[in-house]
Amino acid sequence: MAVADMGSKKFDYAPAPESRAIVDIRPSYGLFIGGQWVDPTDGHAFKTISPSSEEVLAEVSEAGPGDVDRAVKAARKAYDTVWSKLPARERGKYLFRIARILQERARELAVLESLDNGKPIRESRDVDVPLVAAWFFHYAGWADKLDHAGFGTSPKPLGVAGQVIPWNFPLLMLAWKIAPALACGNTVVLKPAETTPLTALLFAEICQQADLPPGVVNIVTGAGDTGRALVEHPGIDKVAFTGSTEVGKMIARSTAGTGKKVTLELGGKAANIVFDDAPVDQAVEGIVNGIFFNQGHVCCAGSRLLVQESAFDEVLESLKRRLSTLRLGDPLDKNTDIGAINSLEQLTRIRELSEVGESEGAARWTVACELPDKGFWFPPTVFTGVSQAHRIAREEIFGPVLSVLTFRTPQEAVEKANNTPYGLSAGVWTDKGSRILWMADKLRAGVVWANTFNRFDPTSPFGGYKESGYGREGGRHGLEAYLDV
Amino acid sequence: MSDRIDVRKTYKLYVGGKFPRSESGRSYEVTDRKGHFLANAAMGSRKDARDAVVAARSAFPGWSTATAYNRGQVLYRVAELLEGRRSQFVDEVAAGEGLTTRKAEAAVDEAIDRWVWYAGWSDKIAQVHGSTNPVAGPYFDFSVPEPTGVVAVVAPQDSSLLGLVSVLAPVVVTGNVAVVLASEERPLPAVTLSEVLATSDVPGGVVNVLTGRTTEVAPWLASHMDVNAIDLAGAPADAVTELQVAAADNLKRVVRPEATDWARTPGPQRMLAFLETKTVWHPIGV
């Protein structure tokens, strides 16, 4: 092998699978209501599979409206009789306990997340689970400091929060929802996504280990109908939703006139803007991380790459070379970079939109890699020659598909970046600090990453402009969503 | 009734993560409120104080640049270990302060919870007390709190654990390092606390604990040119002015003593007293 080829040649590694023996998946799960596992009364059961093998992992309950009602009542009772009466610092101590158990059971949670979701173990182990514990740790400390958070003296909780979360970061989204809600003194009913319920159910067990009072956290599994029953239940005071813009709009409509406080974290079509003075290798790493992290199942993914024309050739060449070294396959293998697409439904949507991309005239380039026989897979794909009118430049694909556009001036970059109904995030790559701040001023997005991408921290507020939703999660700002202010 | 003779503890100084005796070779008797002998505590000297400042200074770069999240985790673990030593603290506080067991328990519990309260501030203080500043020009301008450096702490004389925790935790949570002069007559909980710190993840030198005569050691700390701030919570009333004058030599930040009910949840003042504010300007433009 010539030295010049080294960069594009993939080294062969022996398989290095993480053992799944650490997780103990039960054959079937009930609902977690009032601190206990109960069978659904008017619901059914469904199966959750591993998207990398299509193997059935467990049978899970689908909560009907009556079950949701029971869960809301349990949450209300816990709020009225226990949680709202508990001194704030004692509330905080429960959250610290949960944070510690999450750390203690980190490997188990990471393996289970990768099994149920399809994401590489490297990500669930090094990103998702550590952030989950950090989120609880951070908000644990807020519980008895709400007076200092800038919302007036003694801000009050809302009551019962109904929370519906997506499948892309199942446990992390649970943490983003439950930690601040509990810290502020609310009780919750949470519905995990249909395709990824297992870590939420393990979290229920963690609540039991922490001796969290029954009913403070209730987990109801199910699909869209369960979520709707929860969101529309008259007994909740707050709706927190992370998911698609389409469903977010439905929630905004259905909660209209109810007085429920609503926060929505929805879709995105983030521009990742690369200027010609950016260090190319660093930018390429950021581009790859921006769109291929978590198979592109990221609402803030940098799915539109805007490259300054003068740097186009160099960036694209380097990007393709880098993509050729990515390893796609078994999510539990520690060397895997790209895991499985979460569901057949999502795979179908990615395929359809990619075909539309081609038929509308963009040039498709796909990494040559073998896809496993079973499971749902989509190789990293890059479209060039994309115009702003193309659907792949406008619609959220939520997969490992990057659309590349070009620009000449910073003004043009801003116009193109903002030319979207979304406004969740953006990336800027340049050596010039003043330009970063100028761009950050002009970009209509809730998070702007400069010379980095997809960074998350419990202290850092996250959320969207425009049709990417409203409300912020994280840090001091994240408290507002769960306080009567 | 067992005939076993119990093994008694030697109460030593805590400097740079180690437990030396005073270099002076001196000690003094610590008694309970009724005058019964409890232990011989090390009688720290000027040299011990200077050693402690050197140890603290060398721990400052690491501790102050640790992430706030990491400091929060490390300090929370201290609370976990305090809980494990609860009964020992209760005994020492009851004997030293002359409290009933029930009152001593309440003081120890409050001290543990106070420690947790401060641990939680580590990644919040900047968000609550930092700012972005809307200057009238094309500049991004922000202010962040930063630790001031080595802080000398003259611990409260009366409240030997709760008072101590209430003045020590706010110093170190924000990234400062501390040299603590324990309550002169009730130093035992401070020494036991140092044993907790030694077995926690708090790096050696971040907290240094001296025992001895307040009027002998405090002036050396107040005048030390490598100490950046001093909390005079436990300074004798007739020495306060003199200590402030000494502290003026290098413009130490000084917290003056005032009557304090240590059982009350504090505000952020004791953290803010030992924080600098750094303001950064950066131009905005294409």
Alpha-carbon gap: B119 to the closest alpha carbon of chain A (Å): 8
The pLDDT assigned to A324 comes to 94
ipTM of the complex: 0.96
Tokens 């430049």 locate to: A393
Q: What is the pLDDT of residue A13?
A: 85
Residue B224 in contact with residue B248, Cβ under 8 Å?
no
* Within a domain: A17: no
Q: Does A435 touch chain B (CB under 8 A)?
A: yes
pLDDT at res. B2: 75
b (16+ CB within 10 A) / e for B32-46: beeeeebbebbbbbe
Distance, in angstroms, between A147 CA and closest chain B CA? 10
Q: Do B282 and A437 count as a contact with CB atoms less than 8 A apart?
A: yes
pLDDT tens, per residue, chain A with 485 residues: 344 444 556 678 899 999 999 999 999 999 999 999 999 998 789 999 999 999 999 999 999 999 999 999 999 999 999 999 999 999 999 999 999 999 999 999 999 999 999 999 999 999 999 999 999 999 999 999 999 999 999 999 999 999 999 999 999 999 999 999 999 999 999 999 999 999 999 999 999 999 999 999 999 999 999 999 999 999 999 999 999 999 999 999 999 999 999 999 999 999 999 999 999 999 999 999 999 999 999 999 999 999 999 999 999 999 999 999 999 999 999 999 999 999 999 999 999 999 999 999 999 999 988 999 999 999 999 999 999 999 999 999 999 999 999 999 999 999 999 999 999 999 999 999 999 999 999 999 999 999 999 999 999 999 999 999 999 999 999 999 999 99
A 10 A CB-CB count for B277 gives 12
Same domain? A332 vs A439:
yes
Domain assignment present for A89: yes
Q: Which two tokens stand for residue A15?
A: 């398989």
Percent of chain B with pLDDT over 90: 99
Mark yes or no for CB contact B285/A435 under 8 Å: yes
Q: Which residues of A touch B285 (CB under 8 A)?
A: 434-435, 437-438
Asked if A148 lies within 8 A of B124 by C-beta distance, the reply is yes
Q: Decide if B187 contacts B29 (C-beta within 8 A).
A: no
How much is the pLDDT for A1? 38
Q: What is the pLDDT of residue A316?
A: 98
Q: Do B69 and A134 touch (CB under 8 A)?
A: yes
Test A141 with B120 for CB contact under 8 angstroms.
yes
Domain-by-domain residue ranges, chain B?
A: 27-283
Q: Assess whether A141 and A183 both reside in one domain.
A: yes
Spell out which residues of chain B touch residue A137, defining contact as CB-CB under 8 Å. 69, 72-73, 76
Over pLDDT 70: what percentage of chain B? Answer: 100
- Please list, in sequence order, all residues whose beta carbon lies within 8 angstroms of the beta carbon of residue B95, skipping any fewer than 6 positions away: B32, B33, B38, B188
Q: Would you state the pLDDT for residue A4?
A: 47
Distance CA A241, CA B213 (A): 61
- Token pair recorded at residue B89: 């603290």
Q: Distance, in angstroms, between B286 CA and closest chain A CA?
A: 4
Full-model pTM: 0.97
Q: Is residue A119 part of a domain?
A: yes
State how far the Cα of B252 lies from the Cα of B245, in Å rounded to an integer.
10
> Catalytic residues of A, which ones?
265, 299
**Phi, psi angle pair for A435, to nearest 5°:** -70, -40
Q: Are residues A322 and A367 in the same domain?
A: yes
- Tell whether A12 is covered by a domain: no
Measured between CA atoms, the residue of chain B closest to residue A409 is: B286
Measured between beta carbons, which residues in chain A are less than 8 angstroms from residue B125? none
Residue B283 to residue A142, Cβ atoms within 8 A: no
Cα R_g (chain A), whole angstroms: 22
Contact of A189 with A75, CB cutoff 8 Å: yes
Co-location of A224 and A205 in the same domain: yes
Residue B75 near residue B67, CB atoms below 8 Å: no
The tally of CA atoms less than 13 A away on the side-chain side of residue A24 is: 2
Asked whether residue A165 falls in the same domain as residue A297, the answer is no
Q: Which residues of B touch A140 (CB under 8 A)?
A: 120
Check residue A79 and report its DSSP letter.
Answer: I
Query: Can you tell me the distance from the alpha carbon of B90 to that of B196, in angstroms, rounded to the nearest whole number?
Result: 15
Band of pLDDT at residue B1, cut at 50, 70 and 90: low
Residue A308 DSSP symbol: E
Give the closest residue to A60 by CA, choosing from A49, A48, A50.
A48
Is residue A8 one of the residues assigned to a domain? no
Residues A328 and A254 in one domain: no
Report whether A378 contacts A399 (CB < 8 A): yes
Residue A394 in any domain: the answer is: yes
Q: In chain A, which residues have their Cβ closer than 8 Å to the Cβ of B68?
A: 459
Closest CB to A141: pick one of B119, B283, B284.
B119
Residue A344 counted as domain residue: yes
CB contact (8 A) between residue A438 and residue B116? no
Q: Where residue A352 sits, what CATH number does that domain have?
A: 3.40.309.10
What residues of B are in the A interface, CB distance below 8 Å? 68-69, 72-73, 76, 113, 116-117, 119-124, 127-128, 140, 265, 267-268, 282-286
Question: Which pLDDT tens digit goes with each residue over B260-285?
Answer: 999 999 999 999 999 999 999 999 99
Among candidates B76, B127, B265 on the partner chain, residue whose Cβ is nearest the Cβ of A476: B127
Nearest to A115 by CA among A339, A318, A397, A335: A339
Number of domains in chain A: 2
Q: Are residues A475 and A417 in the same domain?
A: no
User: Which among A465, A469, A437 has a CA at the least distance from the CA of A450?
Assistant: A437
| H helices present in A324-432, as ranges | 344-359, 391-394, 410-418
Nearest CA in chain B to A136: B120
User: Do A227 and A200 sit in the same domain of this protein?
Assistant: yes
* More confident position, A11 or B168: B168
> Are the beta carbons of A148 and B128 separated by less than 8 Å?
yes
Is A96 in the B-facing interface, judged by CB distances under 8 Å?
yes
Does the distance separating the beta carbons of B72 and A93 come in below 8 Å?
A: no
Query: CA A289, CA A402: separation in Å to the nearest integer?
Result: 11
Q: Is there a single domain that holds both residue A110 and residue A250?
A: yes
Distance from A290 to chain B by nearest Cα, in Å?
24
What confidence category does residue B179 fall into, taking pLDDT thresholds of 50, 70 and 90? very high
Residue A369 has a pLDDT of: 87
A136 touches chain B (CB under 8 A): no
> Could you identify the residue written with the tokens 């795979």?
A347
Angle at A471 between CA A297 and CA A217, to 5 degrees: 75
Of B117, B127, B283, the CB nearest to A459: B127
Chain B residues inside the 8 Å CB shell of A141: 72, 119-124
What's the rounded mean pLDDT across residues B176-196? 98
Residue contact B69–A433, C-beta within 8 A: no
Provide the pLDDT for residue A3: 46
Same domain flag for A195 and A333: no
> How far is it, in rounded angstroms, from Cα B133 to Cα A466?
25
Q: Is B20 exposed, middle or buried (0-12, 13-18, 19+ CB in 10 A)?
A: middle
* Residue B286 to residue A438, Cβ atoms within 8 A: yes
pLDDT reported for residue B192: 98
As a whole number, mean pLDDT of residues B204-210 equals: 98
Strand residues in A198-296 grouped as ranges (E): 217-219, 238-242, 261-265, 271-274
Q: Which residues of A touch B127 (CB under 8 A)?
A: 459, 475-476
**Yes or no: domain B27-283 corresponds to CATH 3.40.225.10:** no
For residue B259, list its beta bridge partners.
none
Structural domain contains residue A2: no
Q: Tell me which residue range forms the domain holding A331.
A: 271-450
pLDDT of residue A8: 53
Dihedral angle at the C-alpha atoms of B91, B93, B94, B97, nearest 10 degrees? Answer: 150
Q: How near does any CA of chain B get to the CA of A333, in Å?
A: 29
Length of chain A: 485
